[in-house]
Homo-oligomer: A and B are copies of this chain.
Amino acid sequence: MHNVILSRCRELAQYTEEPGFTTRTFLSPPMHGVHAAVGAWMRQAGMEVSIDAVGNIRGLYSGVNANAKKLIIGSHLDTVPRAGAYDGILGVLMGIALVGALQGRRMRYAIEVIGFSEEEGIRYGVPFIGSRALAGTLDAALIEKITPAIREFGLDATKLKDAQASGNILGYVEFHIEQGPVLESMNQPLGVVVAIKGQSRFEIEFLGQANHAGTTPMDMRSDALAAAAEVIVFVSRFTQGMGGLTCTVGKIHVEPNASNVIPGLARISVDIRHDEDAMRETFQQLVQDEAAEIAARRSVKVSCTKLLEQPTVFMDEEFTARMAVAAPHAVHMTSGAGHDAMILAPHMPAAMLFLRSPGGLSHHPAEHVLPEDAAAAFEAGRRFLEILERLEVSHG
């Protein structure tokens, strides 16, 4: 079964906005082809298929009785530009394969497999549109923004409310590639996600004085880039050995950015993640204090602009314990990346299982999944469904 999952991932990778690569943003034309293929596989596994107003494809596999609780298995079907074949997609096809493996056997709970229409945030700069619709947390401004795309795709934006999860939800489970090197470095195929790390994003801007590189003595400069470089070196040194803390300066903008002019302006992005909110906030303050001290010493002005403050989201303890039993050798870990499970966790019990990312690669055409890891995740999924079944029997 795991080979079918992986080959289906590669088949869907052919639906793309950019020939030769896999690029599939929110409700772009190739998503029609994905819906047709995924819908056929869902029906084949015994599910009723629908597309909700935000473009999530939903396959419902009913339980033994009509008022059964519902387990949601989901992930996303959109991609970053020039993506790999597995990020998101794997979790949807894993859900379909798990239902298919029941071979028509009805459980004490219904199963809904959802392929979210948007998670990466490429088309509108806002991620998680698909799972936010399910959580009922799309705000009016965002709805207005995405309405033309919804209409163009042939859907009815006035029915967005109907996309919201309703009824008696047993919980949400998501299978996803790790997108990092941790499992590989531990030589382990699977990881049970305990929490999704909180994240602070802000920009630091240094304002110095642009000047002639040849005629301005070193001690008469207000070099904005030199100040920014000191912050970059500080965070990179400080974080060494601080397990669990990541701090990244990924983006830099310099003006005038000419080899013979002392930079007058330098702006850097700072991305800090940690699973303890207090630690993340403390380190954020530390970086800003350090930036202020560097700026004062170098006679440049400094300002910080906050862009994102996302607290740590914990997976459901009980639901995650069930997954841990289903995958007894899995590493228990936190996720440094956001996932649909992060959006849904405040609304229903949520659990996540990571599959090893060879080379730590993701968001790259070379992203892949080892067949034995897919097999291990599939077996964990089967056991998870059986554990839930046993619990429903004992509860019910």
Contact A233 B230 (CB under 8 A): yes
Residue A197 is within 8 A (CB to CB) of chain B in the complex:
yes
Residue A156 is within 8 A (CB to CB) of chain B in the complex:
no
The count of residues in chain A whose C-beta lies closer than 8 Å to any C-beta of chain B is 61
Residues facing B in A248-305 (CB within 8 A) are 248-252, 254, 256-263, 269, 271, 273
Residues in B neighbouring A197, C-beta threshold 8 A: 214
Contact B219 A240 (CB under 8 A): yes
Residues facing B in A197-214 (CB within 8 A) are 197, 199, 201, 211-214
Contact B251 A201 (CB under 8 A): no
Contact A271 B225 (CB under 8 A): no
Contact B336 A215 (CB under 8 A): yes
Q: Find the residue from A211, A243, A360 having the highest chain B CB count within 10 A.
A: A211
Contact A182 B360 (CB under 8 A): no
Contact B212 A180 (CB under 8 A): yes
Contact B337 A214 (CB under 8 A): yes
Residue A140 is within 8 A (CB to CB) of chain B in the complex:
no
**Cα(A344)–Cα(B365), bound, Å:** 56
Residue A68 is within 8 A (CB to CB) of chain B in the complex:
no
A175 shortest CB reach to chain B, Å? 16
Contact B215 A226 (CB under 8 A): no
Q: Contacts A201-B259, A250-B257, A360-B211 hold; do A226 and B216 have CB atoms under 8 A apart?
A: no
A-B contact pairs, 17 of them (CB 8 A): A180-B211, A180-B214, A181-B211, A181-B217, A181-B220, A197-B214, A212-B360, A213-B248, A218-B239, A218-B246, A219-B240, A226-B232, A230-B233, A250-B263, A251-B254, A259-B307, A260-B271
